Chains A and B, each alone.
Chain A
C-alpha cells in the first residue's frame, strides 16, 4: 500500500516537472508577455525596463533554472499582471471553483442516478425513452450556449435568478464561500446546473447500462427467486454493483470539472480558477499558468488515488497489488 502511494507520488513529481518545461517552452513560443502587457505608449527604454523587471531578459534555460530554484523553496513566482504570488492568487480563487464543482457533481448524482435507474429498470417505457433522448441533448449541446440560454430564460425573461456573479459570501477559514448564504446559493444554481449538464447525461447512461447488465446476473435472479422485495433487490444488490463504474467516472470527471470549468465560469462571470487561467493565458502570465497546471496535475493524481482506493472498498475482488 505505502509503496503503491509512494510510486504514485514519484510519478506525479515527474509529470509536474515535464509539464513546467512544456509551459516554459510553450509560452516562449507563443509570444512575448511584455508586448502584451506593456502600454502601447511605452517607449523603448520603458520596454527594456519592463523586460528586465519581469526577468525576461535572461535566456530561457536560465529563466527556467531560476524558476526551479525558487519553486524548490515553495515560491512559484509572482504574477506578471497582479504582482501577487501566483500560488496565493490561485488559492484565493479555488473555493469558488471548488464549490461550483462539488455542487455540479452533486447535481449529477442526485439527478443522474435516479433517472438512470428508472431508465434501466423500465427500458421500454416512453418516460425512459424521453430520459435517454434528453441525455443525448445534454451531451451534445455546447455549454456556453446552454449557459446563455439559462441566463436569458431564468434571469432576463423570468427574473427568478441573478444572471451572473457570485453573490454574497461568508468568510470561513480565511476563504470566501457562497453556499452559506441564500443569495450565494441563488447565484450558484445556474452555473452549477450548466456545469453538471454533461455529467448528468453521463451518469444516466452509465447507470442505465449498469442496471441493464446487472439485472440479468444470476445473483439478481436468485435474489428475486428468494422472494426479496423488488426494492431490496434494486437498492441493495443492483445498486451497489453499478456504483463501481459510476464512482470511477464521476471521480475523474470531478477533476476535469475543477480544471476546465473555464467556459461556465466565463459565461456566468464566476470568479474562479478557470477564469483566472484563461485570462492568464490571454496575457501570457507565465507564473500563474505554471502554478495552475502544477496544482491541477497534483489534483488529478490525488483524485485518481482516491478513486482507486474507493474502488477497492466497493469491490472486494479488486485489491491493490504492491508487487506487480
Chain B
C-alpha cells in the first residue's frame, strides 16, 4: 500500500501529524479509540466514567501484552502521561492533550483515575489522541530509538520489521493482538508523494491500495474495472477567514478606484453575509472538487456529535447579497484580495479563484493571490490578510473548532490559536466556556449547537465545503473509510473475509 504524505517519525509522541498518527495507530494503542465515523469506542480502556466532576476513572483492558511480551498495566499509562510533554525537540507535541490532567492515581493494576481542574468533559476525546507506551521498554527511549525500529514496540495490531525513512515501513501482523486480528500477514507501507505516480503505482499493480486519490483521477478510476474506491465525508472543512481585527482600513481592501477605505467593511455583518450568500458552494463542489466534497454551512458534517441539523449550507443568492451590500453602504461594492495557499488543500487555489469570480459577480471585485503554504501560513498568522482561504481538521466535537477558530484569542485559555481573522465575540466565548464545563453529553451538545448557530449567524467565518476522504484499491479488497483521514492497514481486508 502507498500513502501520499511522508511519515516522519515512529515516535508516537514526537510530532502531532496525521501520517505519523496513522502509523502510530498500527503499532500502538490508545485508551480510547475512534471508529470510522469518529465515535469513541473502547481501546486499551474498556470503560470510563466521571466519578465526580473533575475526576475521571478508566478501567483498563486485562491480559494485554506489548510486542516484546511485557504486560500492559496502569503504570504504563502513568508513564505515558509523564513522557508526552517531555519529548526533546518536538516540533508539535501531544502535551495539549495531557495538560488538563492535574493528577494521576493508580487505583489498582488495571484502574486509573485522572484528576482535572474542575469538570472536564473532553478527557476521553483528548485521550483518543495519546498512544500508550510501556514503562519498562520505553523508560529512556529516544525518538531515534523509535525511528530505528528498536523502540517501536506497542500493543497494536502490527509490529515493525523495518523502517526506511521517507521510503517505506514494513509491518508484520501481531498474532497476539487483543482485538480483531488484521487480515494480512505482512504489509509494505510505502510513501509515494507524487499524486500521479501514486495512481500509476496502483494501476501498475505495484501497490494494492493508495490514499489521497487526486480528484483529477477520480472519473477515470471510477470507470476502471480493476479498481474500487472507498470514501467518506471527512472532518476537514475548507473556509474563508475574514479580517475582524481592524476597524480602520484593512490591508487588501480598497474602493473601486483603488483608494483605501478608512473603515474595514468586513466588520459589518451585512457585508460578511453578502460575501457568504454570493458563493455557489454546490458549483464549487461539482466543478472544482469533482464531487469529492459536501457544501457546508457549519464546521462539522452530518452524523457527527454536535452537528447543527437546522444549519444547511447557504443557498447562493446574488440578488440578496447585492441588497445587503447596498444596505451596508456599498451599492457599488469594493475591491478585495483573497489570499490562498496553492499546495496545501485539495484544489485550494482553484477554489479561491471560483470564490473570487462569485464575489466579483455581486460587485466585490476580487483578485486572488496564491502562494506556497510555507509563506502563506506565516503571513496569515500575523493577520496580514483581509480574506484568506484555509482548512481545518476537526475533532468530532463542536467545541474543538469553536475554541480554535472563532473563540477570542487568549494565551491563558489556550483558545483561538488558529483564529487568524481574530474574530471576537464575548457572548460566544461565554457559551463555549459553559459548554466545556457541562459533563452531560446531551446538554453539552445543545449548548455547542447554540454556540455554532451564533457563530454562523454572525458569519465569523465563511464555510465552503467539507472534504470527502477517498482511498482507491485493487478490486477484491474492502476498506473501512475513516473520517479522520488516517490510512491504517488494519482497516483493509479481502472482500471475501469482510461482511
Give the residues from 115 to 157 in chain A that come closer than 8 angstroms, CB to CB, to chain B: 148, 151-152, 155-156
Chain B 351-386 against A: per-residue CB contact (8 Å), 1 yes, 0 no? 000000000000000000000111101110100000
Contact B92 A46 (CB under 8 A): yes
Q: Which of A4-12, A13-21, A248-256, A267-275 contacts B (4 or more CB under 8 A)?
A: A267-275
Contact A164 B375 (CB under 8 A): no
Residues of B within 8 A of A232 (CB): none
Q: Does B411 have its Cβ within 8 Å of any Cβ on chain A?
A: yes
> B140 to chain A: closest CB distance in Å?
15
Q: Does B197 have its Cβ within 8 Å of any Cβ on chain A?
A: yes
Q: Does A221 have its Cβ within 8 Å of any Cβ on chain B?
A: no
Give the residues from 389 to 419 in chain B that come closer than 8 angstroms, CB to CB, to chain A: 392-393, 395, 400, 404, 409-411, 414-415, 417-418
A139 to B17, CA, bound (A): 40
Q: Which of A31, A80, A267 contacts B194 (CB 8 A)?
A: A267
Chain A 273-314 against B: per-residue CB contact (8 Å), 1 yes, 0 no? 001100101111000000000000000000000000000000
A33 to B91, CA, bound (A): 9
Q: Which of B8-16, B46-54, B62-70, B227-235 contacts A (4 or more CB under 8 A)?
A: B8-16
Q: Does B168 have its Cβ within 8 Å of any Cβ on chain A?
A: yes
Q: Does A58 have its Cβ within 8 Å of any Cβ on chain B?
A: no
Contact B95 A269 (CB under 8 A): no
Q: Does A322 have its Cβ within 8 Å of any Cβ on chain B?
A: no
Q: Does A266 have its Cβ within 8 Å of any Cβ on chain B?
A: yes
Q: A40-B418, A162-B204, A282-B374 are in contact. Are A269 and B197 (CB under 8 A)?
A: yes
Contact B164 A80 (CB under 8 A): no
A40 to B390, CA, bound (A): 11
Q: Does A111 have its Cβ within 8 Å of any Cβ on chain B?
A: no
A54 to B8, CA, bound (A): 16
> A172 to chain B: closest CB distance in Å?
16
Contact A155 B393 (CB under 8 A): no
User: Residue on B with the closest CB to A81?
Assistant: B8
Residues of A within 8 A of B415 (CB): 43
Instruction: Number of B interface residues at 8 Å Cβ cutoff, please give it.
Output: 61
Q: Does A209 have its Cβ within 8 Å of any Cβ on chain B?
A: no
Q: Does A2 have its Cβ within 8 Å of any Cβ on chain B?
A: no
Q: Does A38 have its Cβ within 8 Å of any Cβ on chain B?
A: yes
Q: Does A49 have its Cβ within 8 Å of any Cβ on chain B?
A: yes
Q: Does B192 have its Cβ within 8 Å of any Cβ on chain A?
A: yes
Q: Which of B2, B144, B395 contacts A83 (CB 8 A)?
A: B144
Q: Does A215 have its Cβ within 8 Å of any Cβ on chain B?
A: no
Residues of B within 8 A of A44 (CB): 409-411, 414, 417
Contact A269 B194 (CB under 8 A): yes
Residues of A within 8 A of B143 (CB): 83-84
Contact A36 B417 (CB under 8 A): no
Residues of A within 8 A of B201 (CB): 155, 163-165, 269
Q: A43-B96, A92-B165 are in contact. Are A279 and B6 (CB under 8 A)?
A: yes
> A49 to chain B: closest CB distance in Å?
7
A151 to B91, CA, bound (A): 36
> A118 to chain B: closest CB distance in Å?
35
Q: A46-B95, A82-B8, A268-B197 are in contact. Are A155 and B204 (CB under 8 A)?
A: yes
> A322 to chain B: closest CB distance in Å?
45
Q: Does B88 have its Cβ within 8 Å of any Cβ on chain A?
A: yes
Chain A 69-110 against B: per-residue CB contact (8 Å), 1 yes, 0 no? 000000000101111100001001100000000000000000
Give how many A-B residue pairs fall within 8 Å (CB-CB).
Answer: 172
User: Residue on A with the closest CB to B148?
Assistant: A84
Contact B14 A83 (CB under 8 A): yes
Give the residues from 77 to 129 in chain B that come closer than 8 angstroms, CB to CB, to chain A: 88-93, 95-96, 99
Contact B89 A41 (CB under 8 A): no
Q: A40-B393, A83-B14, A151-B200 are in contact. Are A269 and B191 (CB under 8 A)?
A: yes
Q: Does B147 have its Cβ within 8 Å of any Cβ on chain A?
A: yes
Residues of A within 8 A of B168 (CB): 165
Q: Does A212 have its Cβ within 8 Å of any Cβ on chain B?
A: no
Residues of A within 8 A of B215 (CB): none
User: Residue on B with the closest CB to A89?
Assistant: B165
Q: A46-B95, A148-B200, A156-B200 are in contact. Are A163 and B377 (CB under 8 A)?
A: no
Contact A54 B404 (CB under 8 A): no
> A59 to chain B: closest CB distance in Å?
17
Q: Does A37 have its Cβ within 8 Å of any Cβ on chain B?
A: yes
Q: A266-B194, A284-B374 are in contact. Are A39 and B206 (CB under 8 A)?
A: no
User: Residue on B with the closest CB to A162?
Assistant: B206
A165 to B192, CA, bound (A): 8
Residues of B within 8 A of A93 (CB): 166
Q: Does B190 have its Cβ within 8 Å of any Cβ on chain A?
A: yes
User: Residue on B with the closest CB to A82?
Assistant: B8
Contact A42 B9 (CB under 8 A): no
> B142 to chain A: closest CB distance in Å?
8
Q: Does A53 have its Cβ within 8 Å of any Cβ on chain B?
A: yes
Contact A164 B96 (CB under 8 A): no
Residues of B within 8 A of A315 (CB): none
Q: Does B441 have its Cβ within 8 Å of any Cβ on chain A?
A: no
Contact A163 B392 (CB under 8 A): no
A155 to B201, CA, bound (A): 8
Q: Does B161 have its Cβ within 8 Å of any Cβ on chain A?
A: no
Q: Does B495 have its Cβ within 8 Å of any Cβ on chain A?
A: no
Q: Does B196 have its Cβ within 8 Å of any Cβ on chain A?
A: yes
A163 to B144, CA, bound (A): 31
Residues of B within 8 A of A164 (CB): 192, 197-198, 200-201, 206
Q: Which of B89, B166, B381, B393 contacts A53 (CB 8 A)?
A: B89
Contact B378 A39 (CB under 8 A): no
Q: Does B329 have its Cβ within 8 Å of any Cβ on chain A?
A: no
Residues of A within 8 A of B198 (CB): 164, 269
Give the residues from 152 to 179 in chain A that come closer than 8 angstroms, CB to CB, to chain B: 152, 155-156, 159, 162-166, 176
Residues of A within 8 A of B15 (CB): 37, 81
A94 to B203, CA, bound (A): 30
Residues of B within 8 A of A268 (CB): 197
Contact A39 B381 (CB under 8 A): no
Q: A164-B192, A269-B190, A269-B194 are in contact. Are A38 and B91 (CB under 8 A)?
A: yes
A284 to B372, CA, bound (A): 12
Residues of A within 8 A of B200 (CB): 148, 151-152, 155-156, 163-164
A-B pairs with beta carbons under 8 Å apart, 9 shown: A32-B381, A53-B90, A54-B89, A81-B8, A83-B9, A83-B143, A155-B201, A159-B205, A165-B167
Known: A35-B378, A83-B90, A163-B200. 17 other contacts (CB 8 A): A37-B15, A39-B16, A46-B93, A46-B96, A46-B414, A53-B88, A80-B89, A82-B9, A83-B88, A148-B197, A151-B200, A156-B204, A165-B192, A267-B194, A269-B2, A281-B374, A284-B374
Q: Which residues of A are at the interface with B, using a C-beta cutoff of 8 A? A: 30-47, 49-50, 53-54, 78, 80-84, 89, 92-93, 148, 151-152, 155-156, 159, 162-166, 176, 266-269, 271, 275-276, 279, 281-284
